[in-house]
Structure 1
Amino acid sequence: MKNVILTSESFFSNWTIQGVVNGFIAWLFGVTGPLLIVLNSAEIGGLSDSITTSWIFAIYIVGGFSTIGLSMYYKQPIAVAFTIPGAVLVGTTLVNHSFTDVLGAYVFTSLLLLVIAVTKSTSVFMSLIPLPIMMGMVSGVLLPFGLNIFMSVLELPLINGATLLVFLLLTLYKRIGAFIPPILGAIVIGFVLLCLEQPISFNSNSFEMTVPGIFLPTFNLSTISELTIPLLVTVIAIQNAQGIAILDSLGYKAPINALTTWSGIGSLVNSFFGAHSACIAGPMTGIIADKTSGIKQYRYKSAVFMGVLWILFGLFAGFVIEVIRGIPISLIQLLAGLALLMVLKNCLVASFASKFQMGALFTFMITLSDFTLLNIGSPFWGMVFGISLSFIFEKNDFRK
C-alpha cells in the first residue's frame, strides 16, 4: 500500500507548464497536418464518411492509449500515432484495390511486425546503423519544420510574425521566459491575434461522440505484395527509427523490440476499425522529449498529457476536426517548427560532430530530396545510400 501511495504522489507531482505545453503542441501538430494527409487519402480512395471517421477514431484512440501505457511503463516520452508516409501509400493503393483487401494487407503487416519483434530482428537492424547516420536521417526529416518557421511568416505576416517575435523575445529575456515559456507565449499571442482577425466558428451540432465501425478483412495476394513491404519499411525504418534515435540522443535507452511489438499490436487493432499501421511518431516524440519538458525522468508526463488529448480527439473527432480546420495550417507549422527547434539543433550536432560525417551528409541530403523508389520514401533510401557510401569512404570509422 505504501508503494502505491508513493507511486501516486510521484505521478501527480513534478509536472511543468512547459511539459504540458509541449504535450499540447505535439497533439496540435498530430491532429492537423498528418490528419489532413489521412483525409486526403480517404478522398483519393473514395472511402465513405463512416469509414473515414472510423479510421480517424482508431488511429487516435489506439495511439493515445499506447502513448500513455508505454510512457508510464518505461518512464520515457514515447509518442505513438500512425505512419504518415503509410497514409499516403494507402491512398494510392485504394485506387486499384478494394477497401477490405487493403485491410487484409494491414493485418498481414501487423503479424509480420510481431514476428520481427519476437525474433528481435529490430534490435539487430538498429545496431547495424551508426548513430550519426541515423541522426542525419532524422535531421533531414526535421529540417523542413525549421524552414516552415520562416515560410509561415510570409503567408501570414501579422499573426505569424508577431508569434515568432514573441517567441524570440521570451527566449532572449530568460528571466521573463522562466515564468512564461517562449512557446506558451507564442501560442497565446498567435491564437489571440487569429481570433481577432478571423474568429473560428463551428457548428455546435457536431459535438457528439464518434461511433466507429468494425470491418472484416479479405486477403488478396496482389494487395498484400504491393502494400505490406512499404508499410513495414515506413513503420520500422522511418517512423520508429526516428523516435528511437531521438530518445537515444537524449540519453534514454529506447525499448526497441517492445516498440516494434506494440506497433504490431496497435496496427492489428487498427485494421479492424479500417485504420492503417500504428508506429512511433518521430517529430511528436521530439517535441515532448525536448529538454524544455522538464527533468529527464519526468518528461514522460508530457507524453501522458498528449495521449489524453489524443483519446479525447478520437472520441469527438467530428467536432474537433471542424475547429482545427479553422486554424491556418501556416500557424500550426510555425508552432511545430518552434517546438522542434532545439531538437533539430541537437540532431544536426549529433550528425556531424564526430565520425561517419560523409555518410551522415549523404543521408541528410537524400532524406531532404523527397527521393522515392518502389513506393518507399527518401528517409529509408537516405539511410541505405548513406551507410553504403560511408562504408566505402569511411572504413576506418566502421573499424573503430
Structure 2
Amino acid sequence: MGNWFKISHISAGFIAVLVGYTSSVAIIFQAASAAGATPAELNSWMWALGIGMGASCIGLSLRYRSPILTAWSTPGAALLVTSLSGLTMSQAIGVFLFSSLLITISGITGWFQKIMQYVPRHIAAAMLAGILIRFGMDLFTAMQTQWLMVGLMFIAFLLGRAWLPRYTVPLSLAVGMLSAGSLGLIHLEALSWTPATPLLMPPDFSVSALIGVGIPLFIVTMTSQNVPGLAVLRANGYETPASPLIGWTGAAGLILGPFGGFSFNLAAITAAICMSKDADPDPSRRYLASVWAGVFYLFTGVFGATVVGLFAAFPTELVAAIAGLALLGTIGGSLAGALADEHGREAALVTFICTASGMAFMGIGSAFWGLVFGLCVHAIARRRSQAS
C-alpha cells in the first residue's frame, strides 16, 4: 500500500497538473469567452475538463499499467478562440460532440495505430526532444527575472541528484515554494473554495460549424496532440495499444461535451514528467504517477475555476523552473535515443530541429511537421542505403 503514496509519484502527478493548467488555462477562458460563455457555463467547462482528464488518466493508467496522461487540446482551444466567434454555445457544443465522434471512430477503426506503427523509435524520440527542449531552456530564462528563487531550486536539484536522487524534483519544488512564499510571490488572497456545478448545454448541429470548426478541431487534436502523445509513450518504451487510448479519449468527449468538455487527448509534455526516472526508477511503477495526476485532475474538476486561481497564484518562473527540472532527464534520454543510431541520425536531427522551431503550417503545429519531414529523410536514407 505504501507504493500508492510514494512521494515521487505524488509530486510528479502534481507537477504534471500544475504545468498543464498554468501553461494553457488562459486559452480555455478565451475559447469559452469566444462562445459567449456565462460564468456558470465557464465553471461547467472547467468541471467537465477536470473530471474527464481525471477519470481517463486513472482508468487508462490502471487498465494498461502504463503512465498514460490525458489532457485538453491546447491547440484545439487556440483554434476555438478564433473560430467560435459568432456561434452560439449550443452550436459550439455540437462542434465538440462531432469532433469527439471522429476521434472515437479513429480509435475504433484502428487506422491511427496502423499509421503510428511506421514511425521509427529514433524519430519518435527526436520529436519528443524537440517538443520538450523549450521547457529546458525556459528553466534558465526564468533565472533572468527570479534568479534567487530559480537559483535555489537549481542548487537543490544538483544536491538532490548527489544525495537524494529519488526525491530530487519534490525537493526542488519544495525549495521553490518556500522561496516564492518568503519573497511574497504567491498570492492566495482572492481564492474562494466553491465547488463547481455541471451545467448541461444542449447541442445544435450546424452543418457550417461542423465543417468549418469541427473538422479542423479533430485534425488539430489528432496531429498536434495524439501523435506526439503516442510518440512519448513509444519513446519511453511503452507499447500500449493506441486504438483503445484514442477511442476512450473520444468517448470521454462524447460524454462530457454537453457540459463543456470540448476535447480530450493523449498528453505529451506533462506525460513526459510522469514517465521520467524522477517519478520512479522502475518503469513498470511509473503509471502510479499518472494515477495521482488523475486524482489532482478530479480535484481541479470538482472545484473548477477556483483551482485555476490557485495555480495562477504561483509565479510563472516557479512553474517554468520546475517543469524544466522535471524534464531534464527525459530531454537527455530522448536526445540519446534519437542520435544513438548513426544511420538514422540525419532524419532524427531534421525531426528534432523542425519540432523545436515551433513552426506552424496550415494551422498544424511543428510536432506533426517534424514527424513528416523526419520520415521523408528516413525514407530517402533507406532507399539510398538499399541502392548502394
- The whole-number CA distance in structure 1 between the counterparts of 2:214 and 2:97 is 9
Output the amino acid matched with 1:378.
Answer: S
Matched, 1:374 2:362: yes
- The whole-number CA distance in structure 1 between the counterparts of 2:27 and 2:335 is 27
Name the residue aligned to 2:56.
Answer: 66
C-alpha contact 1:139 1:348 (8 A) present in aligned 2: yes
C-alpha contact 1:140 1:368 (8 A) present in aligned 2: yes
Distance 1:63-1:139 versus aligned 2 partners, 3 A rule: same
Q: CA deviation at 1:187?
A: 1.0
- The whole-number CA distance in structure 1 between the counterparts of 2:47 and 2:200 is 12
Name the residue aligned to 1:315.
Answer: 302
Q: Compare 195-204 and 69-78 and name the one that shifted more.
A: 195-204
Pick from 239, 242, 256 the counterpart of residue 270 of structure 1.
256
Name the residue aligned to 2:312.
Answer: 325
Q: How does 1:146-161 map to 2 (within 5 A)?
A: 146-161=136-151
Q: Compare 328-337 and 358-367 and name the one that shifted more.
A: 358-367
Q: Compare 328-337 and 362-371 and name the one that shifted more.
A: 362-371
Name the residue aligned to 1:301.
Answer: 288
Q: CA deviation at 1:131?
A: 2.2
Q: Secondary structure at the match of 2:259?
A: coil
- The whole-number CA distance in structure 2 between the counterparts of 1:77 and 1:337 is 19
Matched, 1:190 2:176: yes
Name the residue aligned to 1:4.
Answer: none
For residues 215-250 of structure 1, what are the alpha-carbon distances to aligned partners after superposition, in whole Å with 9 as ceiling and x for unaligned? 112122222222333333333333222232222232
Output the amino acid matched with 2:332.
Answer: K
For residues 117-169 of structure 1, what are the alpha-carbon distances to aligned partners after superposition, in whole Å with 9 as ceiling and x for unaligned? 22210111101222222222222111111110101111211111211121122
Q: How does 1:226-241 map to 2 (within 5 A)?
A: 226-241=212-227
Distance 1:365-1:222 versus aligned 2 partners, 3 A rule: farther
Name the residue aligned to 2:204.
Answer: 218
- The whole-number CA distance in structure 1 between the counterparts of 2:201 and 2:385 is 51
- The whole-number CA distance in structure 2 between the counterparts of 1:169 and 1:148 is 21
Distance 1:97-1:24 versus aligned 2 partners, 3 A rule: same
Q: Compare 362-371 and 188-197 and name the one that shifted more.
A: 362-371
Q: CA deviation at 1:397?
A: 6.7
Name the residue aligned to 1:42.
Answer: 32
Output the amino acid matched with 2:158.
Answer: L
Q: Secondary structure at the match of 1:200?
A: coil
- The whole-number CA distance in structure 2 between the counterparts of 1:379 and 1:223 is 27
Output the amino acid matched with 1:381.
Answer: W
Structure 2 unmatched ranges of 5 or more: none
For residues 47-88 of structure 1, what are the alpha-carbon distances to aligned partners after superposition, in whole Å with 9 as ceiling and x for unaligned? 322222211111111110110011111111111121111111
Output the amino acid matched with 1:364.
Answer: F
Q: Secondary structure at the match of 1:31?
A: helix
Distance 1:398-1:18 versus aligned 2 partners, 3 A rule: farther
Q: Secondary structure at the match of 2:84?
A: helix
C-alpha contact 1:202 1:322 (8 A) present in aligned 2: no
C-alpha contact 2:67 2:287 (8 A) present in aligned 1: yes
How many residues align? The count is 385
Q: Compare 330-339 and 224-233 and name the one that shifted more.
A: 224-233
- The whole-number CA distance in structure 2 between the counterparts of 1:190 and 1:16 is 20
> RMSD between aligned alpha carbons?
2.2
Distance 1:81-1:374 versus aligned 2 partners, 3 A rule: same
Output the amino acid matched with 1:277.
Answer: S
Distance 1:378-1:321 versus aligned 2 partners, 3 A rule: same
Pick from 376, 388, 399 the counterpart of residue 376 of structure 2.
388
- The whole-number CA distance in structure 2 between the counterparts of 1:44 and 1:135 is 36
Q: Compare 157-166 and 222-231 and name the one that shifted more.
A: 222-231
Q: CA deviation at 1:202?
A: 2.5
Matched, 1:288 2:271: no
C-alpha contact 1:243 1:286 (8 A) present in aligned 2: no
Output the amino acid matched with 2:217.
Answer: L
Matched, 1:165 2:151: no
For residues 353-382 of structure 1, what are the alpha-carbon distances to aligned partners after superposition, in whole Å with 9 as ceiling and x for unaligned? 214322222222222222222222221122
Pick from 326, 332, 346 the counterpart of residue 345 of structure 1.
332
Structure 1 unmatched ranges of 5 or more: 1-8
Q: CA deviation at 1:113?
A: 1.6
C-alpha contact 2:124 2:234 (8 A) present in aligned 1: no
Q: Compare 234-243 and 88-97 and name the one that shifted more.
A: 234-243
- The whole-number CA distance in structure 2 between the counterparts of 1:183 and 1:319 is 26
List structure 1 runs of 4+ shifted beyond 6 angstroms: none
Pick from 234, 238, 241 the counterpart of residue 252 of structure 1.
238
Matched, 1:95 2:85: yes
- The whole-number CA distance in structure 2 between the counterparts of 1:235 and 1:258 is 16
- The whole-number CA distance in structure 1 between the counterparts of 2:92 and 2:374 is 32
Q: Compare 69-78 and 45-54 and name the one that shifted more.
A: 45-54
Q: TM-score, normalised by structure 1?
A: 0.90
Pick from 362, 368, 379 the counterpart of residue 350 of structure 2.
362
- The whole-number CA distance in structure 2 between the counterparts of 1:108 and 1:333 is 35
Q: CA deviation at 1:207?
A: 1.1
Output the amino acid matched with 2:98.
Answer: F
C-alpha contact 2:15 2:322 (8 A) present in aligned 1: yes
C-alpha contact 1:270 1:278 (8 A) present in aligned 2: no
Q: TM-score, normalised by structure 2?
A: 0.92
Q: CA deviation at 1:342?
A: 0.8
C-alpha contact 1:267 1:278 (8 A) present in aligned 2: yes
